[in-house]
Amino acid sequence: MNLSDQESFNSLSGPSLDDQSFKRISKFAYDAAGLSIASSKAAMVRTRLARRLRHLGLNSFGAYCDFIQSDDGGQERIELISALTTNVSHFYRENHHFKLLTSQVLPDLANQRNRPLRFWSAGCSNGQEPYSLAVSLYESGFLNTNTDLKILASDIDPRVIDFARKGEYPERMIEGLSTELRERYFSEVPSNNSERQWSAQESLRKLISFRRLNLLDTWPMQGQFDVIFCRNVVIYFDQKTQDTLWGKFSKILRPGGWLFLGHSERISDGFQNQFETLGDTAYRLRKS
Ligand SMILES: C[S@@+](CC[C@H](N)C(=O)[O-])C[C@H]1O[C@@H](n2cnc3c(N)ncnc32)[C@H](O)[C@@H]1O
């Protein structure tokens, strides 16, 4: 998480974040969402939560901590995690993964289209990742009339899930998608400001189910997945939480299934024997 200039500027005003409150907040973020927040990020935490204190009319972080730990703090616990997570994403982020998807993964799955195929964008943020997946599936000609393919798109943050489900992007958030693809899969909708606004077409929406899901919780999904994109999510987790996830992914992936991670994320050594490395941050679960 980078402390932006705006955050540094804002951090000059409002209540200060004492050590004790920082520890209570970071412990809560770790226990609730797996977020591992170093003490060097205290200024960022203070800036991001100052708005919440103002909104609640609280004048100290100690009072805020008491509130999130109270019986009435349920909604604020969600707001706190939402404020501390980083939701940056864009269409076709780390495009080499989408190239690998169309050059290797989809050809490999082509003769399995007689069974349900399941993809998962785990930590999908505002939806650019699952919509990029859906566009790639159409563009590669993979989907025929009988293909039963669904993309689960999940995130811990209910705000981004609501946004993604709505599927409407201002022009600055749709960068990364070529004009040609934007015209083919999105429709321009009225905007209430000077920025143009684009809405995902039904062909994309019908492939994707958006769900709020904390990766730390028990996963309710029944079947196995063929492809999982979990990119730029585990970077905020410590090794112990990452290892728990590698174990869970190896169980929920179909043998031979693919796992894509973000550019600075790697499967830890203890799980290397279960996964074959396919390319930069792309893995395949071994069949036996
Ligand atoms: C930087 S975004 C990544 C978006 C997309 N995968 C990409 O690479 O562009 C990280 C997302 O992970 C989500 N996240 C963080 N902790 C999570 C958790 N414990 N369970 C589920 N999602 C989580 C955040 O809410 C955020 O939307």
- The 10s digit of each residue's pLDDT in 234-278 is 999 999 999 999 999 999 999 999 999 999 999 999 998 999 999
What's residue 190's pLDDT?
95
Which residues are CB-contacts of 107 (< 8 A; sequence separation ≥ 6)?
A: none
Active site residues: 48, 155
Assess whether the C-beta atom of 33 lies below 6 angstroms from ligand 1. yes
Q: Residue 188: beta bridge partners?
A: 198
Query: 């708005």: which residue's tokens?
Result: 51
Contact criterion met (CB below 8 Å) for 46 and 14: yes
275-279 and 225-230 beta bridge pairing: unpaired
Q: Does domain 5-84 have CATH number 1.10.155.10?
A: yes
Beta pairing, strands 168-170 & 186-189: unpaired
Predicted confidence (pLDDT) per residue in 44-73, tens digit: 999 999 999 999 999 999 999 999 999 999
Report how far ligand 1's centroid is from the alpha carbon of 214 (Å).
Answer: 10
129: closest CA among 98, 96, 162?
Answer: 98
Token pair listed for 85: 């997570």
Number of CB atoms found within 10 A of residue 250's CB: 18
Of the residues 160, 212, 219, 233, which should be mutated to test ligand 1's pocket, given the most ligand atoms within 8 Å of the CB?
233
What CATH number belongs to 95-167+202-285? 3.40.50.150
Cα–Cα dist 61/69, whole Å: 12
Q: Which atom of ligand 1 is nearest to the CA of 34?
A: 19
Kindly report, residue by residue over 213-238, the tens digit of the pLDDT. 999 999 999 999 999 999 999 999 99
Ligand 1 in reach of 118 Cβ (< 6 A):
no
Mean pLDDT of 18-44: 97
In the predicted model, what is the mean pLDDT of residues 81-99?
Answer: 97
pLDDT for 8 equals 45
> Is residue 6 scored above 90 in pLDDT?
no
Which pLDDT band, with edges at 50, 70 and 90, does 3 fall under? very low
Confidence tier at 109 by pLDDT (50, 70, 90): very high
Give the pLDDT confidence score for residue 279 in this predicted structure.
Answer: 82
For residue 197, what are the β-bridge partners?
170, 189
3-state secondary structure the chain: CCCCHHHHHHCCCCCCCCHHHHHHHHHHHHHHHCCCCCHHHHHHHHHHHHHHHHHHCCCCHHHHHHHHCCHHHHHHHHHHHHHHCCCCCCCCCCHHHHHHHHHHHHHHHHHHCCCCEEEEEECCCCCHHHHHHHHHHHHCCCCCCCCCEEEEEEECCHHHHHHHHHCEEEHHHCCCCCHHHHHHHEEEECCCCCCCEEEECHHHHCCEEEEECCCCCCCCCCCCEEEEEECCCHHHCCHHHHHHHHHHHHHHEEEEEEEEECCCCCCCHHHHHHEEEEECCEEEECCC
Among residues 84, 174, 95, 80, the alpha carbon closest in space to that of 127 is found at 174
The tens digit of pLDDT for each residue in 189-204 reads 999 999 999 999 999 9
Q: Judge whether residue 188 has pLDDT over 80.
A: yes
What's the CA gap between 83 and 21, in Å, rounded? Answer: 16
Banded pLDDT at 1 (limits 50, 70, 90): very low
Q: Tens of pLDDT along 117-167?
A: 999 999 999 999 999 999 999 999 999 888 999 999 999 999 999 999 999
Does residue 2 carry a pLDDT above 50?
no
pLDDT band at 43 (very low <50, low <70, confident <90, very high): very high
Residues 6+ apart with CB under 8 A from 220: 213
Give the residue, by CA position, lying nearest to ligand 1 atom 10.
Answer: 233
Asked whether residue 11 carries a pLDDT value surpassing 70, the answer given is: no
Atom of ligand 1 nearest to the CA of 128: 9
Question: Which one of 1, 36, 81, 85 would you pick to mutate in the ligand 1 pocket, going by the greatest count of ligand atoms within 8 A of its CB?
Answer: 85
81 Cα nearest atom in ligand 1: 25
Q: How far is the CA of 232 from the centre of ligand 1 (A)?
A: 7
| pLDDT at res. 14 | 83
Give the distance (Å) from ligand 1 centre to CA of residue 89.
9
Specify the amino acid at residue 269: D
Which residue, judged by its Cα, is nearest atom 13 of ligand 1? Answer: 123
Between 2 and 67, name the one with better pLDDT.
67
Look at residue 288 and tell me whether its pLDDT is greater than 90: no
Give domain limits for the chain.
5-84, 95-167+202-285
Q: Do 56 and 72 contact (CB within 8 A), yes or no?
A: no
- Residue position matching structure tokens 């600055």: 172
Split at pLDDT 50, 70, 90, the class of 12 is low
Report the Cα–Cα distance between both ends of the chain, in Å, rounded.
38
